[in-house]
Structure 1
Amino acid sequence: MDLSTTLPKLASLEFNYCNRCRELLPLQNSTSLKQLEIWGCRGLTNLPGDMLHSCISLQKLRVTYCDNLISFPLDLQRMPSLLELELYRCPKLKTSMTPKGFGFLTSLRELIIGPFSDDDDDENSSIYNEFDWSGLISSSSSSSSSALRRLELFGLPHMESLPHQLQYLTTLTSLTLHDFGGIKALPDWFGNFATLEELDLFDFKDLQHLPSEEAMRSLTKLKSLSVSGSPLLQERCTPKSSGPDSQWSKVTHIQ
């Protein structure tokens, strides 16, 4: 697809519910494109790694609900302007075939990912073993002005732990976690998230304990905590005071 000739100023491109689409070729000379969305294209199995090499102005990329997508080995080094990346609800996507080169995304602010298909058949193994955590961590810690702010991560009902690399994403202001159903207690390294303002947990069905009180006290900027789908949760974390100087400005919500 050479869009530079027919649509030289195209800034936004969407492929929604194109179920008969089997293949998307690289977007050639698409230097003006700022937003690309591929949603619900169930016929797609592979997206080429060089698909967006010419999209040097791309700021938002969303690929989601592509049920049969297996491979999208995107080279993120070619996308210096990317602010938001959403790659989720593609259940057959192999972790080893997801984008690499997060270390070059010094402008990335928002990331929504998972769950992925593990290359290992062991049901207890992590689906994020081959994800590019090192690159993501390095880009997030490069400077306070160019760091990841929002992360939304999807797991699987059997998973008994969170990816340990999460604890090093210390610039987050918003963290949302879904479907880590086997976790019984949240780790104390949650106390590392000193800048966190919002924490949302969904469908942690075996969760019984939040982090320790000491770890929770480290979250001095936390304004909102919401837990839903955790019927076994025993601890209740509430604001230290109800006045205007309360640590949290919003009511803690636990279901």
Structure 2
Amino acid sequence: MDHLVEWSDAVSSSSSFPLLERLKVTYCPKFTCMPFQFPSLKAVYFCRCNGKSISSLVESNLSSLINIYIKLCDGIVFLPQALLRGSDILYFLQVESCESFQGFIPDRNLEDEDVKAIRNQVITNNSLHVLKICHLRSQKCMLRSIGYLPKLETLEIGPFTEEPDFFPFPAANVDEQGTASGGYFPSLRELSITGWSTVSLPDHIQHITSLQTLEICCFDSLVALPEWLGDYACLRELVISECKNLKYLPSKEQMQRLASLKQLSVFKSPIMKDRCIRGGEEFYKISHLPPIRF
């Protein structure tokens, strides 16, 4: 529906669909006006839409929304911060490939200085299980201020096309012994992190020792995987993808500490592949593992 501009019920103050639970809008690049009140709405899916109405729709249905999927919607700039700070039912949130998206704020009419201050506030959420913030232009929208997500199980993050020289991963509070305190992603099981040519793998992820699946993509500056990888006692699957300069796994001792590791995959990383095949220079570190997927 390339030419759809307005949902005619948008002028109504009440909902025409009081029992609507799922709303899917796709391929409507000119769509800018729609109703916001759907008292039973639980899930929204927007793909290749204008995006200007999405924030208001979400803000009007915070008390019922459980799943939110937004992809390739260039008109969306902000989502309400109450999604992350106030909602106690939100389970799934994905924002992907939205060129104009800048983050989460409580008021879309705030001045720039107020927005900067808000980004430094700590955000907590006790219900979110899946969070995917990926393929965005600006790292300013990212999660450095998200401090406590006790139920988060899946996190997908990056890349950002502005390409800052650091990866804006949420910081951990580390004590003098180097241990993260305050419940740093205590339930996280799956982490997919995608970088770019100028950044290093963020050290903070070494404190997420509950991980069962770790996917590392597109870190061109990464030459050696860190030794602290051996601390991932629960890790079952390690995926390395498009790390074109990666040469070294952690030491054999650290690889053997990964007692739960059942699958190592190396994709589009030619140097690493050549070194990990049987007879390669790194093979002795992983000879105890099942065959690698290339």
Q: Which has the larger radius of gyration?
A: 2
SS at match of 1:24: helix
8 Å CA contact 1:21, 1:43 repeated in 2: yes
TM-score by length of 2: 0.69
Q: Which string of whole-angstrom CA distances, capped at 9 and with x for unpartnered residues, describes residues 42-100 of structure 1? A: 2223334345665321100010011232333587846321111011011x2224x3245
Shift of 1:193: 0.8
Counterpart check, 1:195 vs 2:239: no
Instruction: Indicate the SS of the match to 1:27.
Output: helix
Structure 1 residues 117-146: Cα deviation after superposition (integer angstroms, max 9, x where no partner): 6685xxxx2132xx322279656558xxx5
Q: 1:40 aligns with which of 64, 72, 90?
A: 72
Q: Which residue of 2 aligns with 1:244?
A: none
Q: 1:61 and 2:107 equivalent?
A: no
| Percent identical residues | 29
Aligned length: 234
Q: State the distance in 2 between where 1:139 and 1:13 align.
A: 33
Where relative contact order (Cα < 8 A, 6+ residues apart) is larger, the structure is: 1
Write the distance in 2 (CA, Å) between the matches of 1:197 and 1:181.
24
Shift of 1:21: 3.0
In structure 2, give the amino acid aligned to 1:8: P
Residue 116 of structure 1 corresponds to 160
Structure 1 equivalent of residue 24 of structure 2: none
- Does residue 131 of structure 2 align to residue 94 of structure 1? no
Change (3 A) 1:104 1:114: same
Give the aligned partner of residue 191 of structure 2: 151
Of the three residues 56, 76, 79, the one matched with 2:125 is 79
Q: 1:27 deviation in Å?
A: 1.4
Aligned-residue offset at 1:23: 6.3
Asked if structure 2 preserves the Cα contact closer than 8 Å seen for 1:32 and 1:55, the reply is no
CA distance in 2, matches of 1:100, 1:20: 25
Structure 1 residues 196 and 227: CA distance shift in structure 2, 3 A: same
Residue aligning to 2:49: 18
TM-score w.r.t. structure 1 length? 0.79
Deviations 1:134-163 (A, max 9, x none): 279656558xxx51111110100333x311
Deviations 1:179-229 (A, max 9, x none): 001111111111111110000010110011111111101101000000112
Return 5+ residue gaps in structure 2 as ranges. Answer: 1-12, 19-36, 106-118, 175-179, 276-281
Residue 134 of structure 1: aligned partner: 172
Once the two structures are superposed, what CA deviation does each residue of 1:101-126 show, in whole Å capped at 9, x if it has no partner? 54331111111011236685xxxx21
Structure ranking higher in strand proportion: 2
2:33 maps to what in 1? none
Using a 3 Å threshold, how does the CA distance of structure 1 residues 206 and 2 change in structure 2: closer, same or farther?
farther
1:183 alignment counterpart:
222
Give the Cα–Cα distance (whole angstroms) in 2 for the partners of residues 158 and 64 of structure 1.
21
Distance 1:2 1:221 in 2: 54
Q: CA RMSD in A?
A: 3.1
- Contact 1:76–1:105 (CA under 8 A) maintained in structure 2: no
Cα distance in 1, alignment partners of residues 291 and 262 from structure 2: 8
**CA distance 1:205–1:46, shift in 2 (3 Å):** same
- Whether the aligned pair in 2 keeps the contact of 1:31 and 1:54 (CA below 8 Å) is no
